[in-house]
Amino acid sequence: MSSNLYDFSTLTGSIHAALSGMMSSGWVVFTELVLIGLLFLLFYALLGLFLVYLERKVCAIIQNRVGPNRVGKWGLLQTIADLIKLLLKELIPIRKADPILFNLAPFIVILASFMAMAALPFAKGLQAVDFNIGVFYVMAVSSLGVVGILLAGWSSNSKYSLIGAIRSGAQIVSYELSVGLSILAIVVFSGTMQLSGIVESQADGWWLFKGHIPALIAFVIFLIASTAEINRGPFDLAEAESELTAGFHTEYSGIKFAFFFLAEYINMFIVAAIGATVFLGGWMPFHIGNWEGFNHIMNYIPSIVWFFLKTFFIVYLIMWFKWTFPRLRIDQLLTLEWKYLLPISLVNIVFIAFIVLMGWHF
Amino acid sequence: MNVLMFYLFSGIILIFSLLSITTRRILRAAVYLLFVLVATSGLYFMLKYQFMAAVQLTLYAGGIVVLIIFSILLTHHITHRFKHPNLTKLLMGIGATTVGIGLVITTILSHSFKAGTAPELPVDMTVIGNQLLSTGKNGYILPFELISILLLAAMIAAIVIAKKENNKNSEI
């Protein structure tokens, strides 16, 4: 169906063939590992810079301001200037802190987001690793990030940090359930956990449209729960500026603070990418059932463009939430999860299993 | 490459297991334990049993260790240090460990390891799911239910272990 879409595996395959011609197989694997690692590092850094810029612009538009507009065209270089400032700042060591854990914490947070990114399908054939448990892997790896936050809060030996970390821990641990269950809803629909398989199963329509109302409910729950899981407003009480100075990263400065900041934005991208892949078809173009002509025209837009369009749509939604809703209290936050989202998603998943059993979905 | 990775992971597991029982700071012990568990899941990834690896990551690294850290956060202050154990405890511990190591090593040495000749089976999610909830031959329904009790036990154990004792070092 999507035969005229460009398949990136031809490009990666030709690179692999060229490398194999030059050196032995062991070195080929090694070189490819280094190449992919460098690519991801570059992508990670650029994406972080761009997302921070985007956040400031979106915030400015919502608040009827102009936003960054001095450094570079439309202020595009503003975040690079910020990055240079952060790199030059002094790293302040904390007396009476636990130095090993204090320095380790930002790396755990970064590592978790890095590992989650490895499994994302960016375009047709463009995926670093395609596990047969892809969705589960991303969930598992991103749950490691909370360890970094908890360590940061505890090892800073500061009350603000500790309160922030405990709030954040309670929040992430509870909202993880709803994220998992809402993704599981689509896993039930598509019958596979492999990310490429989930994308392929949406060749005749996205699950958001094919899965009737339960898929829509799952999507809304996914949006709410994942916004909470990445500690963003209105669920940002882990770093609530007005009460906790900066929450778990109060004591961090310079590049270590930048790591937390960067990981937060990358996590937002990962969550959006997972949402786009699972509910909105990932890199799959907008297809409607058997409308061959329409589908064919849609295929002229490259798959990588589709992926980033959908992902940034969800990123925009998450940013929109932050600048629209006031922050929740901790008891409201936990009530929302345990009394509303979790029961709804549990009932929803049973309902979806029934739909799939009866074969009512498209 | 595989051999190299195996030694890397085993090295991490051995070193951090030792560190986690010798450190006197409780949260560091928990973090070293986390490294051990993550390295173990690395071993599963090497075996291409990704389901097991992801379960290891979610359940142990993301679940139990987070629970342990969380309860430490609530109950211990950063200045807390474990006291060195007294001599009888130390000797008894060493004795128990020696017996354990002896048992494991004799078992490993007496067992003749043969490379499997059976073809590699695809580890499909549907196969795992069906097998987990099957009550028939080789079904795993009973262990599956027992695991939920194990998780409950782990939660209770984490609370008991991290429970605050009356120590004079603490500032609070």
- Pick from B27, B63, B74: which is nearest to A101 by CB? B27
Q: CB contact, 8 Å: A123 with chain B?
A: no
Taking an 8 Å cut-off on Cβ atoms, the answer to whether A166 and B69 are in contact is: no
For residue B48, how far is the Cα from the chain centroid? 20
Q: Please give the Cα distance from A108 to A113 (Å, whole number).
A: 9
Q: Looking at B47-161, list the stretches that DSSP marks H as alpha helix, in order from N- to C-terminal side.
A: 50-55, 65-75, 87-110, 125-132, 141-161
- Pick from B50, B57, B78: which is nearest to A144 by CB? B57
Taking an 8 Å cut-off on Cβ atoms, the answer to whether A137 and B28 are in contact is: no
Choose the weakest-confidence range: A98-107, A161-170, B124-133, B162-171.
B162-171
B27 contacts in chain A (CB < 8 Å): 98, 101, 151, 154-155
* A222: closest CA of chain B, how far (Å): 19
Reply yes or no on whether the pLDDT at A143 is more than 50.
yes
Mean pLDDT confidence for A227-252: 76
Percent of chain A clearing pLDDT 90 (strictly above): 1
Q: Could you give the domains of chain B?
A: 2-83+122-161 (1.20.120.1200)
Percent of chain B clearing pLDDT 90 (strictly above): 11
SS3 A53: helix
Taking an 8 Å cut-off on Cβ atoms, the answer to whether B66 and A169 are in contact is: yes
B1 contacts in chain A (CB < 8 Å): 26, 29-30
pLDDT at B28: 83
Reply yes or no on whether the pLDDT at A1 is more than 50.
no
Reply yes or no on whether the pLDDT at A253 is more than 90.
no
Q: What is the mean pLDDT of chain A?
A: 82
Nearest to A361 by CA among A205, A220, A203, A134: A205
Q: How many residues does chain B have?
A: 172
pLDDT at A166: 83
A296 and A285 Cβ atoms separated by less than 8 Å: no
Choose the weakest-confidence range: A34-48, A70-84, A241-255, A265-279.
A241-255
**In this structure, which amino acid lies at residue A47?**
L
Taking an 8 Å cut-off on Cβ atoms, the answer to whether B125 and A101 are in contact is: no
- Pick from A30, A131, A150: which is nearest to B50 by CB? A131
Q: CB contact, 8 Å: A271 with chain B?
A: no
Taking an 8 Å cut-off on Cβ atoms, the answer to whether B69 and A147 are in contact is: yes
Choose the weakest-confidence range: A314-318, B54-58, B76-80, B111-115.
B76-80
* A196: closest CA of chain B, how far (Å): 14
pLDDT at B96: 93
Which tokens is B41 given?
């899941």
Taking an 8 Å cut-off on Cβ atoms, the answer to whether A144 and B79 are in contact is: no
Q: Please give the Cα distance from A83 to A89 (Å, whole number).
A: 10
Give Cα separations from A236 to A147, A329, A357 (angstroms).
17, 10, 39
ipTM score of the complex? 0.79
Reply yes or no on whether the pLDDT at A2 is more than 50.
no
Residue with tokens 């409950």: B152
A-B C-beta contacts closer than 8 Å: 93
Q: Please give the Cα distance from A113 to A263 (Å, whole number).
A: 7
The better pLDDT of the pair B59, A1 is held by B59
- Pick from A131, A144, A153: which is nearest to B62 by CB? A144
Residue A59: exposure state from Cβ atoms within 10 A (0-12, 13-18, ≥19): middle
A133 contacts in chain B (CB < 8 Å): 50-51, 54, 125
B55 contacts in chain A (CB < 8 Å): 140
Using a CB–CB cut-off of 8 Å, the residues of B that contact A are 1, 25, 27-28, 31, 34, 38, 50-51, 53-55, 57-58, 61-63, 65-66, 69-70, 72-74, 78-79, 122-126
- Pick from A100, A104, A193: which is nearest to B125 by CB? A193
pLDDT at B83: 76
Taking an 8 Å cut-off on Cβ atoms, the answer to whether B50 and A29 are in contact is: no
Q: CB contact, 8 Å: A28 with chain B?
A: no
- CA dihedral for B58, B62, B63, B65, sign (positive or negative): positive
Reply yes or no on whether the pLDDT at A197 is more than 80.
yes
A345 and A221 Cβ atoms separated by less than 8 Å: yes
Domains of chain A by residue range: 90-358
The better pLDDT of the pair A223, A97 is held by A223
pLDDT at A154: 82
Q: What is the dihedral of CA B129, B132, B136, B141, to 10 degrees?
A: -140
pLDDT at B104: 92
* A252: closest CA of chain B, how far (Å): 17
pLDDT tens digit sequence for A55-68: 888 888 888 888 78
Q: Please give the Cα distance from B99 to A286 (Å, whole number).
A: 64
pLDDT at B82: 73
User: Which of A111, A141, A161, A175 is the best mutation test for B, with the most CBs of B within 10 A?
Assistant: A141
Reply yes or no on whether the pLDDT at B31 is more than 80.
yes
A165 contacts in chain B (CB < 8 Å): 73
Taking an 8 Å cut-off on Cβ atoms, the answer to whether A137 and B54 are in contact is: yes
The better pLDDT of the pair A212, A341 is held by A341
Query: What values do phi and psi take at A123, rounded to 5?
Result: -160, 180
The better pLDDT of the pair A132, B104 is held by B104
B25 contacts in chain A (CB < 8 Å): 98
B52 contacts in chain A (CB < 8 Å): none
Taking an 8 Å cut-off on Cβ atoms, the answer to whether A132 and B124 are in contact is: yes
Q: Determine the residue of chain B that is closest to A192 in CA distance.
A: B125
Nearest to A282 by CA among A319, A316, A309: A309
How many helices, marked H, and strands, marked E, lie in chain B?
7, 0
Which pLDDT band holds residue B172 (cuts at 50, 70, 90)? Answer: very low
Reply yes or no on whether the pLDDT at B53 is more than 80.
yes
A257 and A52 Cβ atoms separated by less than 8 Å: no
A218 and A155 Cβ atoms separated by less than 8 Å: no
pLDDT at A240: 67
Q: Please give the Cα distance from B168 to B8 (Å, whole number).
A: 41
Taking an 8 Å cut-off on Cβ atoms, the answer to whether B70 and A101 are in contact is: no
Taking an 8 Å cut-off on Cβ atoms, the answer to whether A26 and B1 are in contact is: yes
For residue A112, how far is the Cα from the chain centroid? 11
pLDDT tens digit sequence for B73-131: 777 777 777 777 788 888 998 899 999 999 999 998 888 777 777 777 667 777 777 77
pTM here is 0.83
